[in-house]
Amino acid sequence: MSDIVVERANIRTWGMFGAAFLLNVDADHSSLRRMDFRLRSQSVRYRRCETAFHTIIAPGAIRGYVHCAMAHASVLRTAKYEGTEPVLVFEDDAILRDDTAEFMWSSIVPQLRLVEWDILFLGPDVCGESDPLSANLLRVRRGCQMHAYAVSTRGLDRVLRILDQAIVAQRAPCDVMVGNDSALIKVRTSPTLAMGDPA
The 10s digit of each residue's pLDDT in 104-128 is: 999 999 999 999 999 999 998 778 7
Cα torsion for 142, 120, 181, 146, to the nearest 10°? Answer: 80
Q: What is the DSSP letter of 87?
A: E
What does the pLDDT read at residue 57?
Answer: 62
Domain presence at residue 97: yes
The residue segments making up the domain with residue 80 are 19-196
Number of Cα atoms under 13 Å in the Cβ half of residue 123: 22
For 178, phi and psi rounded to 5 degrees?
-70, -45
What does the pLDDT read at residue 67?
Answer: 84
What does the pLDDT read at residue 56?
Answer: 58
Q: pLDDT tens, 138-164?
A: 999 988 889 999 999 999 999 999 999
Asked if residue 25 lies in contact with residue 92, where contact means CB atoms within 8 angstroms, the answer is yes
Asked if residue 105 lies in contact with residue 189, where contact means CB atoms within 8 angstroms, the answer is no
Q: pLDDT tens, 52-106?
A: 665 656 666 677 788 889 999 999 999 999 999 999 999 999 999 999 999 999 9
What does the pLDDT read at residue 3?
Answer: 40
What does the pLDDT read at residue 170?
Answer: 76
Domain presence at residue 165: yes
Query: Average pLDDT in the 33-55 region?
Result: 87
CATH number of the domain enclosing 79: 3.90.550.10
Domain presence at residue 14: no
Domain presence at residue 1: no
Can you tell me whether residue 27 is helix, strand or coil? coil
Domain presence at residue 53: yes
Domain count, the chain: 1
Domain presence at residue 166: yes
Domain presence at residue 4: no
Domain presence at residue 155: yes
- Whether 26 shows a pLDDT value over 80: the answer reads no
**Which runs of consecutive H residues, i.e. helices, occur in 17-171?**
29-41, 63-82, 100-103, 109-112, 156-169
